[in-house]
Amino acid sequence: MSNSPEFAVEVDHLTKDFKVLHRSHSSLKTAATHVVKSMLQRGSGASFELRRALDDVSFKLRPGEAMAVFGRNGSGKSTLLSVLSRVYLPTSGQAILRGRMISLLELGAGFNPELTGEENVYFNAAVLGLNSAQSEDAYDKIVAFSELPPNVLNLPVRMYSSGMQLRLGFSIAAHMNPDILLIDEGIAVGDAGFRQKCYERMLEFKAQGKTMVCVTHGVEFIEKLCERALWLDKGKLVDDGPTAEVGQRYKESFNK
């Protein structure tokens, strides 16, 4: 791309707070009194506290760069991807994405169990932003990649095994032709053979110069894919550098 921007992703002092409501409905009565109380206190801020899931995170990615995000459970890595995919708005700060972005968060999230595989492919493609001509073009490739037999595509998705659903979900996501990919852990799914195929597909994306952000708490595969890594802990940016080094320090932190 001749007109490629200097940065594909710019994240600037991103902060996200969640409201955590204090409620423990141990009985119907406490539930009822809670309702009355919360009605009286609405807006006073007394019935909830704020939990900071992302705390002043900043980084910049050049086009074609692949970055891993390490962190334990609850460290804010999924929140980061969710904010970048506009599921949540940040409380403060800004993120700029230059290029078509798609997020591979949870595969097959939009599947309707009553519709056939084919109908679901078209629906998911529309949700991810393809127009009907583009979906038509992508359909055969998606089906071929999923390795599902054609007669299965005419069955309702409720009859699919969970592995088959994930195969179809990954295949759709893998054929959206984005510039920026947000990838959540657990994206490589199914049996060993298909998982290998998922990895290869991601390496292919990398070879094509796509910008990638991969969230994970494992370190192994990601070293091959991402040259750079962030380490988040309790919402704060702890480390930013080459994957091998950050991964090493991240691993060591478990032994302390």
Which residues contribute to the site for another protein (CB under 8 A)?
3-5, 18-19, 21, 23, 48, 82-101, 103, 105-106, 109-110, 112, 114-115, 119, 122-123, 126-129, 131-132, 156, 179
Separation CA 46–CA 168 (nearest Å):
46
Q: Closer CB to another protein, residue 94 or residue 248?
A: 94
Q: Residues 6 or more apart from 26 whose CB is under 8 A from it?
A: none
Q: Closer CB to another protein, residue 86 or residue 251?
A: 86
Amino acid at 250: Y
Separation CA 255–CA 19 (nearest Å):
33
Separation CA 95–CA 100 (nearest Å):
14
Q: Closer CB to another protein, residue 111 or residue 250?
A: 111
Min separation Cβ 31 and another protein, Å: 12
Q: Closer CB to another protein, residue 124 or residue 243?
A: 124
Separation CA 92–CA 182 (nearest Å):
21
Separation CA 89–CA 112 (nearest Å):
27
Q: Closer CB to another protein, residue 183 or residue 246?
A: 183
- Cross-strand pairs, 12: 94
Min separation Cβ 126 and another protein, Å: 4
Min separation Cβ 193 and another protein, Å: 26
Separation CA 70–CA 214 (nearest Å):
9
Min separation Cβ 157 and another protein, Å: 12
In 3-state terms, what secondary structure has residue 103? strand
Q: Closer CB to another protein, residue 100 or residue 249?
A: 100
Two tokens at 33?
A: 């009194």
Min separation Cβ 81 and another protein, Å: 10
Q: What is the rounded radius of gyration, in angstroms, for the C-alpha atoms of the chain?
A: 21
Min separation Cβ 47 and another protein, Å: 10
